[in-house]
Amino acid sequence: MTDAGRVTCSEQTRTTPPLATDTAPTPRPAITALALAGGTAVLVGSEFVPAGVLPLLAHDLHVSEGRAGLAVAATALAGAVTAPTIASVLPRVDRRRVLLGLMVLALISNALVAVAPTLGVLLVGRMLLGVAVAGYWTFTFGVGLAVTGRPALVSTAMSLGTSVATIVGVPLASTLGDRIGWRAVFGGLIVATTASGLALARVIPSVPAHPGAGPEMMRQVLGNPRLLAGAAMVTLVAFGNFAAYPYIRVALHSVTPSAVAVLLLLWGIGGLIGNLAGGWLSSRLQLGVVLAPVILAAGLIVMTAHPNAVVVAGAVLAWGVGFNMVPVTTQLWVSRIEPRRVESAVALQVTAFQVAITIGAVVGGAIVDHRDVWTAMAVGAVAAAIAAAGFGAIRLVPRAD
């Protein structure tokens, strides 16, 4: 491991200047981090809720489930376009105002989806959500860093919000959708989005944009070969997960139909462990970015063997741990390697994730249709293993200029 990989968390805080140099750290960093995590949970929950109500949504709009699945793909595509460009569109706007504006956009999106009479209207609403999700992820780390001065806390909190959304939000939406209807589920998201926006408005102070924010910062970031290589590895490992994850229920049902709910909960528990482990490894990021895809690949490989329910349970737990380490460790990794251009570096990481979600779901679906779910998991494992090797080959050296 390089010396840079052993830099302590406090040293990272000193070498990574906040996006707003005149914003003093808050005396309540945990409350701020929780508010930011709440926004993440609401937005990510909104992004993936259609997966939990897909049959109901498709039936109500008189479309096939395959076409209804575009509700997730449209969000990811809009996010992939938004993440690298939004800072250039809003180079001087106070970041507090930006975050609150993005929450309002998510509110409009969920309201539009809740009343959508056709799939076309619904997809417009979902694209608005893609802008909100990508923008929020792009700016939140920098805002949290400026307000709290604690990068590991902010990154872990954001990933914790994602875990809560996927562990609680999607299964809950599925259960509620069967009882009260999918439109009512989106009505509940309207309430949750409003509450989260109000919490952010209360605890987040004014955070002026970084003086260098805009197209020039992104151009400089794109000139960093180590960062670009790291973004490619992020795409690979996220692709590996999303080529397999949409079909986890199919795989588990074929092994042990009676324990699917328990095993999905186990994946979620693994996710929580992975979030905490990613934060704990903030002082050893070179190890963290390699270990996360290794654990993910191991979990997926064991899943392909699926010899019995006990072994599959261990594989599912490892899968949850490995993948949920990835957002924390890679976000800290890109901010460490570009300490003076954190906003644009994180935007590149977000773009990598959104592209991977889109491509992974499409490729994974094609593999499942033409081969089987185990082949999709094997492909995911190979992608994750390549990403681990790639991260191991990239020196974690902060850019000096």
For the chain, the structural domain boundaries read: 20-209, 213-401
Domains 20-209 and 213-401 share a fold: yes
Tally the residues of the chain.
401
Confidence band of 154 (pLDDT split at 50, 70, 90): confident
Cβ-based neighbour number of residue 51 at 10 Å: 20
Q: What is the pLDDT of residues 63-91, one digit of tens each?
A: 876 677 677 778 888 988 888 888 778 87
396 three-state secondary structure: coil
Helices (DSSP H) in 53-181: which residue ranges? 54-61, 65-68, 70-82, 86-89, 95-115, 119-148, 151-164, 170-180
Label residue 349 exposed, middle or buried (CB < 10 Å: 0-12, 13-18, 19+): buried
Q: What is the pLDDT of residues 124-135, one digit of tens each?
A: 999 999 999 989
Structure-block tokens of residue 54? 């897909």
21 three-state secondary structure: coil
CA-based end-to-end distance of the chain:
23
Residues 6+ apart with CB under 8 A from 143: 19, 36, 95, 96, 99, 204, 207
Q: What is the pLDDT of residues 379-389, one digit of tens each?
A: 999 999 999 99
Q: Which CATH number does the domain 20-209 belong to among 1.10.1370.40, 1.20.1250.20, 1.10.30.50, 3.40.605.10?
A: 1.20.1250.20
Topology (CATH) of 213-401 = Growth Hormone; Chain: A; (1.20.1250)
Confidence band of 112 (pLDDT split at 50, 70, 90): very high
Mean pLDDT comparison of 14-23, 30-39, 161-170, highest-scoring range: 30-39
Question: What does the alpha-carbon distance between residue 154 and residue 274 come to, in Å, rounded to a whole number?
Answer: 15
Helix-strand-coil split of the chain, %, nearest 5: 85, 0, 15
pLDDT of residue 12: 40
Residue 11 confidence (pLDDT) above 60: no
Q: What is the pLDDT of residues 185-235, one digit of tens each?
A: 999 999 999 999 999 999 999 988 766 556 777 778 888 899 999 999 999
Label residue 66 exposed, middle or buried (CB < 10 Å: 0-12, 13-18, 19+): exposed
